[in-house]
Chains A and B, each alone.
Chain A
Amino acid sequence: MNHSHSTTVYAHYDESSIPRLLRMPAALLRRGGAAWITVGASVLLVLMGTLAIDAAESLRPSSTHLFGPTAMKHLMFALLGITCAAAVAVPDYRKLGPFSFIAYGAALLLLVFLLIPFVPSSIVRPRGGARGWIDLGPVDFQPAELMKVAYIVTLAWYLRYKKNHRTIKGLLWPALITAVPMGLIILQPDLGTAILFIPALFFVLIAAGAKLKHLTLAVVIAALGAPAVYPMLKPHQKQRIVGLFLQVKGDDREDLDINMQPVTAQRLIGAGGVFGRSEEETRALHHFNALPERHNDMVFAPVVTRYGLVGGVALLGLCLAWCAGAILTAGSCGSPFGRLVCVGAAGFFFAQTVVNVGMNVGLLPIIGITLPFVSHGGSSMLAQWLMAGLVLGAAMHKGGYEIGQRLNFEDQELD
């Protein structure tokens, strides 16, 4: 980067040309860059989610509030999430780095706590057989969501200057950092959330420069080993996979039983057509079709019922924009730590979106995963905003001090 080049850039953004009142927002906008895409997508997704949850929640619109109670709660959590996001974006995130292992350890402890037998059900109340939530009175808290944030920061902090992950041996530590929380979450059991750690890890490793052949090898081994896992699955998980096969084959015998949820979801998605249905009809359709988890894991269905193909594509576009914003921010971020955090956040977001939408449209078996920012769920919302905050923080604090040397592989043999 030469001096004269940067002068021209700055000349274009000459502060004196901007009215005084707007100078501060303009500076923020400029400094955030692509991260604002991510933040903007987050806000729009929250709004879509609120409208969809409200429509799916009750037959008639709320007479006292703008939205129904669940949608209102959703908005409240979003506001809380935005506050948290601001809290991590404003200070220099790089100062948080050294605390990452502490956060990781604390999250692990919470995960272990969930698994301790004899903890009274007033504290750990199993939902659908999974011990994943801690009862905090008015709200429930899901430590696995916190773990996702702690995990990204820790993995990024660990890998920020490493080079040895270009060897197989060097991949062991990242694998271990991933495996421990994953294992604890599987024990809850919450296979859906646990699975998300794998794409996040892969995203971070790809960005950190691990050799693609190692990663490909891992994928091939996993693909070959997958059938061996099948007998270990729980009966309901097996059923869902069998159900998906039946659906693909066009066998409708199980439509009222194990395939009830995906078939209903697809029916309601189809009902949206190209431009969606009126709010009134969306309410009626969802009320009487009684899709389970429609404000939560299956929230994509009410979105499409209400806004149709157009709304669905818009939602997918926003998700794509979210990931793109995070990855572009990573590209513009000088700090390897910040870069890897952005990519890790994108990895989680990407995996979660694809799996959630995939199960809604019937391409993947049903597995309990929320659609980020759109699904109702406090812990998920907070975690998601924390990640958005980290991305924004990475964009805001590009320059200035940097611990140690910059990592680049340009001098090394390319893979």
Chain B
Amino acid sequence: MILNFQSLIVRRLLLLLGIVAVAFVPLTLRLFALTVNSRENLAEARNRLERRQWIPTVRGKILDRKGRVLAEDRAAYDVAVDYRVLSGDWSRQQARTTARRLAGRRWLDMSPDQRQQLADELLPGFAAHLDNAWDRLAAALSVPRSTLDEARAKVVAQVEARQRDVSSKRLEKELANAETSKEVLTPEQMRKAQKRADEPIAEKSQSHVLMARVDDAPGFTAQSLASESVEVVLATGGTADSLGLPSDRTEVLPAVPGLTVFDSADRTYPLERQRVSIPRESFPHAVSSSAPLDIEVDGVAIHLLGKLRDQVHGRATDAKGAVQPGDADRRREFLELSPDFARAARLDDGTDRGAYWNRDRVGDTGVEGRHENQLRGLRGLALTHMDTGGRDTVPPEPGQDVQLTIDAALQARIQAIMDPRAGLAVVQPWHGSTSEFPLPLGTPLFGAAVVVEVESGEIVAAVSTPTFAREDLLRDPLSIYRDQVARPALNRAIGAEYPPGSIVKPLILCGAVQHGVGSLDEHIACHGFLYENQPNTLQCLIWKRFKNTHSVRLGHDPSPVEAIGVSCNIYFYTLGRRLAGSGIRTVYDEFGVGHKFGLGAGYEAPGQIGAPGRDITLFDATLMGIGQGPVTWSPLHAANAYATLARSGDWIQPTLVRGGTTPEVRRLNLDPASVNAALHGLAFAINESSGSAHHMQIDGSGATEPIFDADGIRIWGKTGTAEAPDLMVDDDGEGPLRPHAARVGDHSWFVVLAGTDRPKYAISVIIEYGGSGAKVSGPIANQVVHALQDEGYLP
């Protein structure tokens, strides 16, 4: 052929060839783009050749200092049933398909009515089978049938509500679309739109958990039930007869249709409920008895252990607009910070075996929350290569155990001592409340007790009362958070801060000597009040109560040891004033006030020195000399400060969890002589008859009894009666009722060091709004010493 470009035909055919050639260019380019550098596509396509089956792991245990199990996973099962079975639709579907099978070739010749009739005749048989199935399941789970029916109704109601919600949203969207495109929907279109909106939601073809966390035995029975089948004879009726079909048909049906039972794990806290026997011979004689008190305590160490939640939290924005990281964010951060752990946690393709999935259990509060990453564990993976049938398995790795420094038995014993039923933590006549509005006798008093081992800084017990039962927390969390006076959820041992009161006096002495404003030879006159012409402010307690002075009582001006022993306010007002703002701040700061300890067990109160945004005035400093004014700390701060004194000024970071980072140790550079004097002062308070913690009066007769009576145990101690702001309670939240004072008066403190030749344990006790330190917290501190003996910590 000769190309004649003059010819229109030739030109036109060339044009067509050109069009064809040009059109193929983008296709080729796109093909090039897809195939070259296609590793990602290939990897994803290959992914589908594998079936991944995750193997659940076990969360690590939480142990006490003696290795007793405080929290562990228990095998359990979730029992789930397909929604169509729950709703009963299963019977209708089965009746229809069975009718079709039964009719065989006749089906095509039957009218729609006949088909439905045949199905309807089979329906009662299936419905009866389902009814039996529920009985079987109830028997397997050993629950009454009604429990199962209630659970079933609840799921169906939830799913239906969700369907209604989704349907109406879908319809709204369609109508809105029609509106924007200015379409007017005909009735026919409207009907179709409604039909589309009513399409069943995904939940209607899924399984739903009917009974969660079922025990091992019933779970196992249910699991075997899930693979059982039974023969069911289905009777047919008139339609079948008229068609010449058999009058009954035997079908093999699953014993419980749609039943699946899968592994789940339940967390148990075996030592949270304990029965404790407390000898009462050493109780104050008004409540003492030769018979021990048998008492069941619940929620032992629950504040420290914390809880799990069943919901994974996503990233959220709080009320202030700040972004709160979700569980997955926190996990990612942890993996980035611990590359070794991340290597073990990740599969070859980078998948984190501990990643959070919907419905995972997540450590929420306390040790469970703070040690989530160690406790969580790593899932295993069974990888089936479906093309070759090969299998690779990565075994699951259980979570690491976390050991606490707490002794669960001691913790329970101290909790029992502080239980109102024991009679020590209730308002008693001998408390001799000086409050204007005394609480009625027998009113429960709340507080905390902390025991720190002097040598190691380990927290052996940290009790906060009242506690609560875990069931109550799970069943009705509001019941725990509603009580604004008892505030059971508050961990008073480490998470609440109080004015320290007189218990700081030995620390102030050491601080003043260190800062060169106090001398161990100095006697300071006590006139009952600090300023000569102001007898009503800055008083000594002895002046306030008895219009007496320590100088008169002792026959001379008190020495530092005597000032601690008799708790002379004037002496320490004077030291506080001399230390002034910056000095007193340093003293408190060195003992750890204003800092958290990083225990890893939930919220810690740092305590406070000076009001925020305000300088410490000379008046503030004067008050802070006796632990009043703008200063607060937690019972743990108190115990730790006394432990520091007992170590001659070596501050050790207290620990609650073993095996973490090495605790920080700081030498405070206190004058050893001043520490010695402080300890002498504490011994004076306990042992000298004029000491503030030596004895107490139980009734008006003037008879006294010693506060501490443990044989062979040396006690160094100090009372504290700290003025506190009233506890204001607003019964209706934001409502019209004004807040009112629910508790008034002083907090009762008692801090002691107990040991044989030298202090071995530091014990701090506080009773909120209890009044006198000696009379309220004193007997409790004495019982804690006995408890340490009973548990073998002291001879």
**Which residues of A does B touch, CB under 8 Å?**
59, 203, 206-207, 209, 231, 266-274, 280-281, 283-285, 287-290, 304, 308-309, 312-313, 316, 319-320, 323-324, 327-328, 330-332, 339, 343, 346, 350, 354, 357-358, 361-363, 408-410, 412, 414
Name, among B16, B19, B38, the residue most crowded by chain A CB atoms within 10 Å (CB to CB). B16
Tell me how many residue pairs across A and B have CB atoms closer than 8 Å.
132
B386 at the interface (CB under 8 A from A): yes
Kindly list 15 other residue pairs between chains A and B, CB separation below 8 angstroms, not including A327-B20, A409-B9. Answer: A271-B41, A274-B36, A284-B49, A289-B45, A312-B35, A316-B28, A319-B24, A324-B20, A327-B16, A328-B13, A330-B13, A350-B19, A350-B23, A361-B30, A362-B30
Q: Which residues of chain A have C-beta atoms less than 8 A from B13's C-beta?
A: 207, 327-328, 330-331, 343
B196 smallest CB distance to A (angstroms) = 8
The reply to whether A269 and B8 contact each other, CB–CB distance below 8 Å, is no
CA–CA, A59 to B49, complex, Å? 11
B32 at the interface (CB under 8 A from A): yes
The reply to whether B30 and A363 contact each other, CB–CB distance below 8 Å, is yes
Name, among B19, B36, B183, the residue most crowded by chain A CB atoms within 10 Å (CB to CB). B19
The reply to whether A287 and B35 contact each other, CB–CB distance below 8 Å, is no
Q: Which residues of chain A have C-beta atoms less than 8 A from B16's C-beta?
A: 203, 206-207, 327, 343, 346
The reply to whether B24 and A273 contact each other, CB–CB distance below 8 Å, is no
B173 at the interface (CB under 8 A from A): no
Chain B residues 610 to 659 lying within 8 A of chain A, measured CB to CB, are: none
B46 smallest CB distance to A (angstroms) = 7
B189 smallest CB distance to A (angstroms) = 11
CB-nearest residue of chain B to A324? B17
The reply to whether A267 and B36 contact each other, CB–CB distance below 8 Å, is no
**Assuming the A-B contacts A285-B49, A350-B23, are A266 and B17 also in contact, with contact meaning beta carbons closer than 8 angstroms in the complex?**
no
CB-nearest residue of chain A to B4? A410
B111 at the interface (CB under 8 A from A): no
Q: Which residues of chain A have C-beta atoms less than 8 A from B478's C-beta?
A: none
A317 smallest CB distance to B (angstroms) = 9
B422 smallest CB distance to A (angstroms) = 62
CA–CA, A203 to B13, complex, Å? 9
The reply to whether B12 and A207 contact each other, CB–CB distance below 8 Å, is yes
Question: Of B6, B24, B32, B45, which is within 8 A of A309 by CB?
Answer: B32
Would you mind naming 14 contact pairs between A and B with Cβ atoms under 8 Å apart? A209-B8, A231-B181, A266-B41, A268-B45, A270-B38, A271-B38, A272-B35, A273-B38, A274-B36, A284-B387, A324-B17, A350-B23, A362-B30, A410-B6
The digit string for B19-54, where 1 denotes a CB below 8 A from any CB of A, is 111011011101110111010111011101100000
The reply to whether B49 and A331 contact each other, CB–CB distance below 8 Å, is no
Q: Which residues of chain B have C-beta atoms less than 8 A from A271's C-beta?
A: 38, 41-42, 45-46
CA–CA, A280 to B21, complex, Å? 34
The reply to whether A320 and B20 contact each other, CB–CB distance below 8 Å, is yes
CB-nearest residue of chain A to B50? A288
B15 at the interface (CB under 8 A from A): yes
Q: Which residues of chain B have C-beta atoms less than 8 A from A288's C-beta?
A: 48-49, 386-387
A393 smallest CB distance to B (angstroms) = 18
Q: Which residues of chain A have C-beta atoms less than 8 A from B252's C-beta?
A: none
6 smallest beta-carbon distances between A and B, as pairs:
A270-B41, A284-B387, A270-B38, A309-B35, A271-B45, A409-B8
Q: Which residues of chain B have C-beta atoms less than 8 A from A339's C-beta?
A: 9
CA–CA, A290 to B47, complex, Å? 13
B111 smallest CB distance to A (angstroms) = 15
B534 at the interface (CB under 8 A from A): no
Provide the main secondary structure of the chain B interface.
helix
B338 at the interface (CB under 8 A from A): no
B57 smallest CB distance to A (angstroms) = 28
Q: Which residues of chain A have C-beta atoms less than 8 A from B28's C-beta?
A: 313, 316
CA–CA, A358 to B44, complex, Å? 22
Q: Which residues of chain B have C-beta atoms less than 8 A from A312's C-beta?
A: 31, 35
Q: Which residues of chain B have C-beta atoms less than 8 A from A313's C-beta?
A: 28, 31
The reply to whether B27 and A357 contact each other, CB–CB distance below 8 Å, is yes
The reply to whether B7 and A408 contact each other, CB–CB distance below 8 Å, is yes
The reply to whether B45 and A285 contact each other, CB–CB distance below 8 Å, is yes
Question: Of A268, A287, A354, which is within 8 A of B24 by CB?
Answer: A354
The reply to whether A267 and B9 contact each other, CB–CB distance below 8 Å, is no
Q: Which residues of chain A have C-beta atoms less than 8 A from B46's C-beta?
A: 271, 285
CA–CA, A412 to B41, complex, Å? 56
Q: Which residues of chain A have C-beta atoms less than 8 A from B291's C-beta?
A: none
Q: Which residues of chain A have C-beta atoms less than 8 A from B30's C-beta?
A: 361-363
**How many B residues have CB within 8 A of the partner chain?**
38
Name, among B9, B12, B28, the residue most crowded by chain A CB atoms within 10 Å (CB to CB). B12
Question: Of A283, A304, A331, which is within 8 A of B10 by CB?
Answer: A331
B184 at the interface (CB under 8 A from A): no
CB-nearest residue of chain B to A320? B24
The reply to whether A408 and B9 contact each other, CB–CB distance below 8 Å, is yes
CB-nearest residue of chain B to A269? B34
Q: Which residues of chain B have C-beta atoms less than 8 A from A281's C-beta?
A: 387
Name, among B1, B17, B48, the residue most crowded by chain A CB atoms within 10 Å (CB to CB). B48
Q: Which residues of chain A have C-beta atoms less than 8 A from B41's C-beta?
A: 266-271
The reply to whether A323 and B31 contact each other, CB–CB distance below 8 Å, is no
Q: Which residues of chain B have C-beta atoms less than 8 A from A343's C-beta?
A: 13, 16
**Assuming the A-B contacts A209-B9, A274-B36, A309-B32, are A267 and B24 also in contact, with contact meaning beta carbons closer than 8 angstroms in the complex?**
no
Q: Which residues of chain B have C-beta atoms less than 8 A from A354's C-beta?
A: 23-24, 27
The reply to whether A206 and B387 contact each other, CB–CB distance below 8 Å, is no
The reply to whether A59 and B387 contact each other, CB–CB distance below 8 Å, is yes
CA–CA, A207 to B183, complex, Å? 43
The reply to whether B20 and A323 contact each other, CB–CB distance below 8 Å, is yes
Name, among A203, A270, A308, the residue most crowded by chain B CB atoms within 10 Å (CB to CB). A270
CB-nearest residue of chain A to B41? A270
CA–CA, A312 to B15, complex, Å? 25
Q: Which residues of chain A have C-beta atoms less than 8 A from B36's C-beta?
A: 273-274, 309
**Assuming the A-B contacts A271-B45, A339-B9, are A320 and B21 also in contact, with contact meaning beta carbons closer than 8 angstroms in the complex?**
yes
Name, among A289, A312, A331, the residue most crowded by chain B CB atoms within 10 Å (CB to CB). A331
Q: Which residues of chain B have C-beta atoms less than 8 A from A361's C-beta?
A: 27, 30-31, 34
CA–CA, A106 to B12, complex, Å? 32
The reply to whether A363 and B181 contact each other, CB–CB distance below 8 Å, is no
Name, among A290, A304, A412, the residue most crowded by chain B CB atoms within 10 Å (CB to CB). A304
CA–CA, A175 to B750, complex, Å? 104
Q: Which residues of chain A have C-beta atoms less than 8 A from B44's C-beta?
A: 267
B11 smallest CB distance to A (angstroms) = 9
Q: Which residues of chain B have C-beta atoms less than 8 A from A284's C-beta?
A: 49, 386-387
Name, among A274, A284, A324, the residue most crowded by chain B CB atoms within 10 Å (CB to CB). A284
The reply to whether B35 and A274 contact each other, CB–CB distance below 8 Å, is yes
Chain B residues 161 to 214 lying within 8 A of chain A, measured CB to CB, are: 181, 183
CA–CA, A54 to B424, complex, Å? 87
CA–CA, A271 to B30, complex, Å? 14
**Assuming the A-B contacts A273-B35, A313-B31, are A206 and B15 also in contact, with contact meaning beta carbons closer than 8 angstroms in the complex?**
yes
Q: Which residues of chain B have C-beta atoms less than 8 A from A324's C-beta?
A: 17, 20
The reply to whether B9 and A272 contact each other, CB–CB distance below 8 Å, is no
The reply to whether B34 and A363 contact each other, CB–CB distance below 8 Å, is no
